[in-house]
Amino acid sequence: MNLWFRLLYMLFRRPWSKPVDGASTTVVRMRVWPTDLDLNRHVTNGRYFTLADVGRMDFVLRTGAYRVALRHKAVPIVGDTWGKFRRELKLFEAFEIHTCMLGWDEKWSLMEHRFISNGRVVGVVVVRGLFRSAKGTVPPAELLRELGVSEQSPPMPQWLVDWASSCDGMSGQLREEEGRGPL
């Protein structure tokens, strides 16, 4: 099933979805469709990232983060993603995407999307994103305060801190390379 149909279905169900606070975990239920498969007849690696977008949209809508972003005239931007695949999802298999905030710093919000089927985590997508307005990046603490969530990030696991640091390192390297001209 195409991403647009899933988004429309999620939006159609929105009036019946209970609002949650920004510290909660949201759950979206889905099923594997033929368009999700690769040549090995399981969900293609890239599709996990696309499906995580649906989970993230549900999270942003249900927590009210979209209203806060609108007040700031800000748009969400994904800066980095990372995936861990543990088990395959096969045709017509039912699964859930559990989405939550893992933490934040002065610029970035870090979110997790856990893909769960039959009680097992089959994959995880981690996203580092921000909200940008014409005035620049809106600090996550400011957005979260407006959502009624503590401005202080919960402690993040070391692997997450290391990953975010490596993303910053790669960004710095790319900026340096761009300053030298084409390679």
Residue 26 lies in a domain: yes
CATH number of residue 81's parent domain: 3.10.129.10
Residue 179 lies in a domain: no
Is pLDDT above 50 for 1? no
Concatenate the DSSP letters of all residues of 22-78 into one string: TTS-EEEEEE--GGGB-TTSBB-HHHHHHHHHHHHHHHHHHHTHHHHHHHTT-EEEE
Average pLDDT on 19-23 reads 78
Average pLDDT on 153-181 reads 92
Residue 180 lies in a domain: no
The whole domain housing 154 covers 3-174
The total domain count for the chain is 1
In one-letter notation, the amino acid at residue 161 is: V
pTM, 2 dp: 0.88
Dig out the tokens for 139 from the structure.
Answer: 């600090």
Confidence (pLDDT) at 179: 84
Closest CA to 62 of 23, 117, 108, 34: 23
pLDDT band at 183 (very low <50, low <70, confident <90, very high): very low
Residue 76 lies in a domain: yes
